[in-house]
Amino acid sequence: MIKSKPFITILILFLGVLPFTKSFAQRRVLDSIHVEEIYVRKNPFNSRPNIFFIYTRKLPISNLHLRVNYWKTQTSLGLNLNQAAFSDNWSGGGVNSIALGSLFNYKAEYNKDDKNFTSVILLQYGKLKNDGQLERKTNDRIFLDNKAAMALSKNWSFFGSLSFESQFDAGYNYKKDANGDEIRNKISRFMAPGYLTESVGFEYKPVKFYSIRFGTGTARQTFMLDTTLYKNNSKNFGVPIGKTFKNELAFQTVFNFDKDIATNLNLKSRYLLFAAYDRINNIAQRLDATVTAKVNQLVNVTVGATALYDDNYSGRVQYTQNLTLGVLFTIPR
C-alpha cells in the first residue's frame, strides 16, 4: 500500500487539473475567428524607387529635318520731319521752313567655320526748304560695302572687299547776284563723282564690335559722268578735265566700331585712310560717327558727324553735323 501512494497522488492531481485545461481550450476556440483569406493593404507611397533604364539611339541627321541658318541680317528704316511756321507780325522773328530726312540701313553677315561674308547698304537723303530761299540738301549718300574673309588665326583674316559710293541728287553752292537774289551752281550729281574701290589685305578683329582692315592692295576708280562740272569746281574731284574716269592704286586702312556704350545708346564709327601711291604726301581721310539714343521702340535721337580731308575736294578739312529726332524701325527689333 505504501508503494501505490505516489501513483494515487499523481492520479488525483491529473483529475484535478483536467477540468481547467478543458476550459482553457474551449475559451481559445471561442476567442478565435476563422479567416479564409488575408489581404495586405498596400502603402500608397513607394518607399523604394522604380528601377528603369535609359537607352540611347543614334538617329540619322536627315530624319531630324533640321536647318541651320548661317546668316544674320538687320534692317533699319528711319524718317524725321521738322517744320516751323510764323505769322507776319511775329515779334521774335523767324522764317517758315520744312525739312524731311530719311534713312535706310541694311547689314547681312554670314559666318560658317572660318569663312565670313559681310554686306552693308547705307542710303541717306534729306531736304530743307526755307521760305524765300532755294531748297537745299541736308543729307545725300549712297554707300555699299561687301567683304569676304577667311580666318588665318583667332584674330586675323585674309579679306577681299568691293565698295561703291555716290549720291542721289545734284549738289549746289549758293550765291547772290547783283540784285540780291539767290542763285545756285551745280557742283555734283549722281556718279559725278562716283567711287568704286577694290581691296585685298588682312583684317584684325580681336572682338566682335571692333575691326581694322589693312588693304595692302587697293584700287579705286573715280567716275565723273558730267564733264561740265569743272566750271563750278576747279578741282573736278581729281579727275582730269574732260575725262570721265580716273584709276588709282593705293594703300587703304578701314577702321569699324559698333557697340552699345550704355543702355539704349549706340555708337557707330568708320574711319577711312586712303594713300594713293602717286601722291603719298596727300593722304585722304574720312571719319563718320553716329550716336543713337533709343527713346522707345520707335522714337530715336541721332547725332551724326563727318570730317573729311581730301585734296581732290579742297585744301582744307570739311565737316558736317546733324541732330535728328525721328522714327526708326529696326528689323529684327
- CA–CA dist 300, 210 (Å, integer): 24
Nearest of 120, 119, 112, 118 to residue 151 by alpha carbon: 112
Kindly list the distances between the CA atom of residue 176 and the CA atoms of 79, 169, 170, 184, in Å, as whole numbers in the listed order: 32, 22, 19, 8
- Please enumerate in sequence order all residues whose Cβ is within 8 A of that of 129, keeping only pairs 6 or more positions apart, or say none: 97, 98, 99, 135, 136
Summarised one tens digit per residue, pLDDT across range 141-189 is: 999 999 999 999 999 999 999 999 999 999 999 998 888 889 999 999 9
- Check if the beta carbon of residue 122 is closer than 8 Å to that of residue 108: no
- Please enumerate in sequence order all residues whose Cβ is within 8 A of that of 110, keeping only pairs 6 or more positions apart, or say none: 70, 71, 72, 116, 117, 118
- Check if the beta carbon of residue 122 is closer than 8 Å to that of residue 140: no
Does the N-terminal peptide bond of residue 240 adopt cis geometry, omega within 30 degrees of 0? no
- SS3 per-residue string spanning the chain: CCCCHHHHHHHHHHHHHHHHHHHHHHHHHHCCCCCCCCCCCCCCCCCCCCCCCCCCCCCCHHHCCCCCCCEEEEEEEEEEEEEECCCCCCCCCCCCEEEEEEEEEEEEEEEECCEEEEEEEEEEEEEEEECCCCCEEEEEEEEEEEEEEEECCCCEEEEEEEEEEECCCCEEEEEECCCCCEEEEEEEECCECEEEEEEEEEEEEEECCEEEEEEEEEEEEEECCCCCHHHCCCCHHHCCCCCCEEEEEEEEEEEEEEEEEECCEEEEEEEEEEEEHHHCCCCEEEEEEEEEEECCCCEEEEEEEEEEECCCCCCCCEEEEEEEEEEEEEECC
The cell for 3 is 508503494
Summarised one tens digit per residue, pLDDT across range 82-118 is: 888 988 888 878 889 999 999 999 999 999 999 999 9
pTM assigned to the model: 0.78
Does the N-terminal peptide bond of residue 193 adopt cis geometry, omega within 30 degrees of 0? yes
Amino acid making up residue 302:
T
- CA–CA dist 190, 213 (Å, integer): 28
- CA–CA dist 98, 160 (Å, integer): 43
Instruction: Judge residue 136's burial from the number of C-beta atoms within 10 Å of its C-beta, 0-12 exposed, 13-18 middle, 19 or more buried.
Output: middle
Give the chain's largest Cα–Cα span: 180
- Please enumerate in sequence order all residues whose Cβ is within 8 A of that of 143, keeping only pairs 6 or more positions apart, or say none: 120, 121, 122, 123, 163, 164, 165
pLDDT in tens, the chain (333 residues): 445 556 565 665 555 555 555 544 454 444 455 555 555 555 555 555 566 667 777 766 565 667 788 999 999 999 998 888 988 888 878 889 999 999 999 999 999 999 999 999 999 999 999 988 899 999 999 999 999 999 999 999 999 999 999 999 999 999 988 888 899 999 999 999 999 999 999 999 999 999 999 999 999 999 999 999 999 998 999 999 999 999 999 999 999 999 999 999 999 999 999 999 998 888 999 999 999 999 988 899 999 999 999 998 888 999 999 888 899 888 886
Question: Residue 1 has what pLDDT?
Answer: 44
| CATH architecture, range 72-331 | Beta Barrel (2.40)
